[in-house]
Every structure is written in structure tokens, then in C-alpha cells.
Structure 1
């Protein structure tokens, strides 16, 4: 039986070790924010740190979606995405935190959650002079956009652009005159385009029940 190769390359940022140079280089490219392994989708322009991720992403653009959800009209072209979606309907959360017992539908979410216990922050802002650290990559990317001014989410109804996808969604509510946030106080029928406006309203809502002392 062959023995497992011993790690040869150690990361100076988070102490992880790798036996293969390519894996080590890819890992370091995430910390340093380099584009060494970057590849862009020819369909939508989205950029990935690794060409392997691009290959999986390209399946999204294919018209054939073989996996139909039995609980809603959605369908998927990837079996993994289909399985994770169905868990939402079934309320399945098979991944359990051994520290606090909290459960998650996806292994990646559990891994991110563990960092709240360990305090690990492996992702470092690559902007010169910043070096702020983050527990998950998505928050690091959002933070970096504050430095770079990158706003990848554009409105197709006006020239405005946004750094966060949910900000674009809120903005579109104005164009479409959608008010998805309803006051939760019984008897109040007011609706709002933003959840923050709804929360502000609820504090002053005339239908609000005053708690007895």
C-alpha cells in the first residue's frame, strides 16, 4: 500500500499545508488576490479563480435542465444543485456543528460556521495597506469592492450599478413599483419597497400593540 505524500508546501497566511505545488499556488492566489488561475465565462463575463469552477459554471448556461424539483417549478442542470435545493423544501440539514449543535443544509456553510468558534480568518484583503482578514471569501470580496469601486451588478432599466446583488434587487423594486415588505402589525395594510423602511414604519405604526408593563 502506497503511503500518502507528506506536505511539502506550507501557507504563511493560515498554516495550511499542501503536497502538490499547483494546489499550493492556487491556495496562495486566493489569499493574494492574484489572477494566475482566473478564467472568465464567455457567456456572462463572470470571473472564477479556477478554470475547473468555470467548467461547472458553464453548465448553468445550457438550456437542458434534466432535474426538475417535485415541489416547485424550478429545474436544474446539475444534480448537486438539485439536491441542495430539495433540502430547502424538506428542511433537511444533515451537517451538524460538533461545538454547538447548529445544523446546516450544506457542508460549506458548516465549514464557514466553524470559523465563528475557532476565530479563523483565512481570507486577507489584498488592497495595499489594508490587510483586513475575513472568515469567508464572499465577505472579503464585498469588502474589497469598497476599495476598488467595482460594482458588478447593473440595472437594465437605468445606468445605476451596485456592489451587492440584493441592493440591485431593492433598486428594481422602485422601477417595477413592487412593495414586497408588508407591515406585520395586525390591521395595517402598508407595504414597502425596502425592508429597512418597513422596520422604521413598524416602530411608529398606529396599529402597533403597546406592551403592558
Structure 2
């Protein structure tokens, strides 16, 4: 709510996403850095957040109530099983607007976008600064126009 009420907000320098608290921003930054400091001591799977590791631990304790009838993989939430089923159905509803590659999960698309951060095909006509996506270029243009991006 802080973003909508005009209270102090925290903005990601990489993608421009805004957060109402510093903790949320720091958690979000792992999407860009690829940092995964939490490792499962049973299987070695790594996670960016402790809560995700805790949820994963149910795999090893047998607490996952939802099983995929096609491959046997188990999940602790019905939502996770439903998301997993798109893998078997060949559904990839999340396309990359930069290269056309498609992904079954939004998170995987966001991780993929890091690849394009090194490529900067969008150039500012006024100062030649380059950007990896059109949205960031448009946001940059407000530097030259003096236009405020939000009312």
C-alpha cells in the first residue's frame, strides 16, 4: 500500500519494480543476482529464500499431499501441482518479448530475462545511452523530457 499512498518506496535499480519495504526489495534482488544461499542438506537443491527451503523440506519428510499422476513428483500445495502439470502438457504461456522463447512459469521467464540484460539493443536518440528493453528506455526518456512517469 505504501506505493499507492505516496509513502517511501524502494525501487529495484535493475528492472524498476517498486516495493513498500526494503526486505521485499532485497528478496526480489535474488532474481537478478542468481544468489541462492539456502541449500537442502538432503539433496543439495538450492533456494534464494529460507521459506522456499522450508517448503521444499516437505519432500523429504513425506508431508507432500499432492502427487503428479504422470511422473510421481509430490507437492505440498495444489497450486504447485497445477503449475507442474503444464510441463507435461507442453504449455508455455509466458513468452519472452525479446527473443520469442516461451516458458511454463513466469519465474523462469524472469530468470531468462537476465540473459538479455547484457544485450542492449535499445538506444536513446538523444544521448546514445543503451538499454536492454524498451520499457527501461521509455523510463529513461523522462530524464530528457522532464515528464514524471507517475502522477
What's the TM-score once normalised by structure 2's chain length? 0.50
Structure 1 residue ranges (4+ consecutive) displaced by more than 6 angstroms after TM superposition: none
Q: Deviations over 1:85-118 (max 9, x none)?
A: 32222111122233444322111222233344xx
Q: Distance in 2 between matches of 1:70 and 1:47?
A: 26
Work out which of the two has the higher radius of gyration on C-alpha atoms and give 1 or 2.
Answer: 1
Q: Deviations over 1:50-105 (max 9, x none)?
A: 32222222222221443232334x13123344224322221111222334443221
Change (3 A) 1:87 1:27: closer
Gaps of 5+ in 2: 119-151
Change (3 A) 1:39 1:85: closer
Bigger relative contact order, structure 1 or 2 (CA pairs below 8 A, ≥6 apart): 2
Q: Distance in 2 between matches of 1:3 and 1:103?
A: 31
| 1:189-204 correspondence to structure 2 within 5 Å | none
The answer (yes or no) to whether the contact 1:65–1:75 under 8 Å persists in 2 is no
The answer (yes or no) to whether the contact 1:93–1:103 under 8 Å persists in 2 is yes
Q: Distance in 2 between matches of 1:115 and 1:45?
A: 24
The answer (yes or no) to whether the contact 2:3–2:9 under 8 Å persists in 1 is no
| 1:34-183 correspondence to structure 2 within 5 Å | 41=40, 48-72=47-71, 74-78=72-76, 79-116=78-115, 119-120=116-117
The answer (yes or no) to whether the contact 2:3–2:20 under 8 Å persists in 1 is no
Q: Distance in 2 between matches of 1:84 and 1:100?
A: 23
The answer (yes or no) to whether the contact 1:66–1:75 under 8 Å persists in 2 is no
Aligned residues between the structures? 114
**Which residue is equivalent to 2:20?**
19
Q: RMSD between aligned alpha carbons?
A: 3.9
> How far off is 1:40 after superposition?
5.8
Change (3 A) 1:44 1:2: closer
Gaps of 5+ in 1: 122-213
What's the TM-score once normalised by structure 1's chain length? 0.39
Q: Distance in 2 between matches of 1:47 and 1:75?
A: 18
> How far off is 1:20 after superposition?
0.6
